[in-house]
Amino acid sequence: MAHQYGYVEVITGSMFCGKTEELIRRLRRSVIARQKVQVFKPVIDSRYAYSKVTSHSGVDFEALPINSAAEILQNLKPEVTVVGIDEAQFFDDSIVEVVDQLANQGIRVIVTGLDTDFRGEPFGCMPVLIAKAEYVDKLNAICMVCGEPASRTQRLVNGKPAHYNDPIVIVGASEMYEARCRRCHEVPRD
């Protein structure tokens, strides 16, 4: 069943806060409602399964891995009314135009992505997607140091906090990242 109008939902927060799990929950509800769903993920994210979006807890949903945002439009099936896009921060800035175009066509677009990088700074296209979305949910994880709500992603290199000048994008999971609160998040600059 088609929507009366399209709109954009963004699910954001640090690593390990449940973004992908929430995406999958919403997608499954759409399937139950007999809506036609299609999911895309960046090909760079091959942590758990190549052709699935997978939460850290192992919940998954079929997805098409793509190299660029333009491939969403190229591969979109005509009957689709709900599009899921996981790990949007890894796409180029044209993802914003693609998401807008989908919503303008009457499609419900559900996007997940890290709002900040390991340095605690806005990550890629996410600030613009958050600003343009009709609905935004910012989830928190649990700080691995003190147990308080965590809104930051801590990258670790050999057990120590990554340096500010390290590369922004390094795909990984619990072997190199932790959720941290503002107080416990560390980014050395010297």
Give the closest residue to 96 by CA, choosing from 50, 54, 131, 48. Answer: 131
With 0-12 CB in 10 A as exposed, 13-18 as middle and 19+ as buried, what is 35? Answer: middle
Task: Compute the C-alpha angle 182/185/187, nearest 5°.
Answer: 130
Task: Compute the C-alpha angle 93/53/144, nearest 5°.
Answer: 90
Give the closest residue to 113 by CA, choosing from 47, 178, 23, 7. Answer: 23
**What gap in Å lies between CA 165 and CA 139, rounded to an integer?**
27
**What gap in Å lies between CA 150 and CA 162, rounded to an integer?**
18
With 0-12 CB in 10 A as exposed, 13-18 as middle and 19+ as buried, what is 165? Answer: exposed
DSSP symbol at 122: B
Residues involved in catalysis = 87
